[in-house]
Structure 1
Amino acid sequence: MRVNILQHTPNEGPGSILDWARVNGHQSFVYHPYQFGYLPTADETDLLIILGGPMSPNDDLSWISQERELIQELLDKDVPMFGACYGAQQIAKTLGYKVSEAPAKEVGWAPVYLQSHVIPDLPAELLALHWHQEMFEVPKEATLLFSSDAVKNQGFVMNHRVVGLQFHFEPQDDNIREMVINDFPYIEGSILDQTATDILNMPVPTINKEVMFKILDYITAGKD
């Protein structure tokens, strides 16, 4: 399987998603469209990963529109897709739904609560990294998957092939350090009231990687 990864800022990489690809014998290709402008084609994509970033799907940038064209092609072809934060927003926007200011800016560690058992064996509550102040409208074609105390629309699952999460399960400890040291000013104004040190001192829960693997297994089930 060819796993095509769209990365949108240097400090928000694929983390444990690369581990999942290696364990399963898949090849990963990481694209940086914000810098180089290149995207994979739909025909060469068996799984699309759309990572987070500081931009908004509402920004008027040609590569953002081109990403949505690719997403639409893959939706039409029933190709598995996972979006984190901005990536989940891009999927919702492609489907015709709004991306708007969230009720609260969430940056730091906070629990998320499972809202559906569509994906088997997910815990009822998990501690996730949040790094956002916009949110997606959950597509009518999808099922609400997670909520947090401050923001209801934290995740969705659709057609056994698409999952979008407003937060992050994919970062490992070294990824968290990279995010915080490079983007610590963004922490200001978060409802979670955590400092950069608070965020860095929280070890990534080991269950997060397990859940990331389960989500990727679920959306790729039956695909070679």
Structure 2
Amino acid sequence: MRINVLQHTPNEGPGMIQDWSQAHGHEMYIYHPYQFGYLPTADETDMLVILGGPMSPNDDLPWIKQERELIAKMIEQDKPIFGACFGAQQIAKQLGYNITKAPAKEVGWAPVYLQSQVIPDLPEQMNVLHWHEEMFEIPDEAELLFSSDKVKNQGFVMNHRIIGLQFHFEPKADNVREMVVNDFLYIEGSVLNQTADDILQMTVPVENPEILFNLLDYISKK
């Protein structure tokens, strides 16, 4: 399977998604449309991964709109899509739903709570990395999957083929360090009241890779 990844900033890469791809013997191609302007076609994509970034789906940039055109074609072809943060917002935006300021800016580690049993073997509570201040509306076609204490719309699942998460399951320890040392100014104003050191000292939960792999398995298998 060819997994095409859309990466939107140097410090938010695929992380454990790449581990999952390698474990299954898939081929991963990483695109940087914000820098180079190139995107894959739906026909050459077996699975699409859309990562986070500092931009908003509401920004008037050609490549952001082109990404949503690709999402639309992937949905038409019933191919799996996984979106993290900005990526999840792009999916919701393409489906006609609003991207707005969240009730609270969340940056740091905090729990999310399972809201649906549609995907088997997920725990009721997970500790995850948040790095956002906007949120998506849950598409009518989708089911609410996760919520946090501060922001209800933290994740959705749709048609057994699409998962969008407002938070980040994918970063490994090195990836978290990369995010913090490059984007530490963004931490200011977060309701989680964590410093850069607080975030760095938190160990990535050992169960998070298994949970992420479960989510990716769910949308990639019919």
Q: TM-score range by the shorter chain?
A: over 0.9
Aligned to 1:58: 58
| 1:107 counterpart residue number | 107
Q: Report whether the alignment pairs 1:68 with 2:78.
A: no
Matches of 1:156 and 1:2 in 2, distance apart? 24
Distance 1:55 1:132 in 2: 10
**Match of residue 15 from structure 1:** 15
Q: Which amino acid aligns with 1:7?
A: Q
Unaligned runs of 5+ in 2: none
Write the mapping of 1:31-46 to structure 2, written as runs, cut at 5 A: 31-46=31-46
SS at match of 1:4: strand
Report the RMSD for the aligned CA atoms in angstroms: 0.4
Distance in structure 2 (CA, Å) of the matches to 1:169 and 1:117: 19
Residue number in structure 1 paired with 2:122: 122
The one-character-per-residue Cα deviations of 1:67-88 (angstroms, maximum 9, x if unpaired) are 0000000011100000000000
How much identity, in percent, do the aligned residues show?
72
Rounded to whole Å, the distance in 2 between the matches of 1:117 and 1:37 is 39
Partner residue, 2:185: 185
In the superposition, the TM-score normalised over structure 2's length comes to 1.00
Query: C-alpha distance in 2, partners of 1:78/1:183?
Result: 35
Deviation at 1:204, TM superposition (A): 0.3
Give 1:50 deviation, angstroms: 0.2
Question: How do residues 146-161 of structure 1 correspond to structure 2 at under 5 angstroms?
Answer: 146-161=146-161
Matched residues, number: 222
- The list of structure 1 runs, each at least 4 consecutive aligned residues, that deviate by more than 4 angstroms after superposition, is none
Deviation per CA, 1:196-223, whole angstroms, max 9, x where unpaired? 000000010011111110000000013x
Q: Deviations over 1:36-83 (max 9, x none)?
A: 000000000000000000000000000000000000000111000000
Cα distance in structure 2, aligned partners of 1:212 and 1:45: 20
Matched residues in 1 for 2:203 and 2:74: separation?
A: 35
SS at match of 1:35: helix
2:145 maps to 1:142: no
Cα distance in 1, alignment partners of residues 207 and 49 from structure 2: 20
Once residues 8 and 64 of structure 2 are traced to their aligned partners in structure 1, the CA distance between those partners, rounded to angstroms, is 10
CA distance in 1, matches of 2:80, 2:166: 18
Q: How far apart, in 2, do the equivalents of 1:213 and 1:14 lie?
A: 13
Q: Structure 1: how far apart are the matches of 2:59 and 2:161?
A: 27
Q: Which runs of 5+ in 1 are unaligned?
A: none
Q: In the aligned structure 2, how far is the partner of 1:155 from the partner of 1:182? A: 26
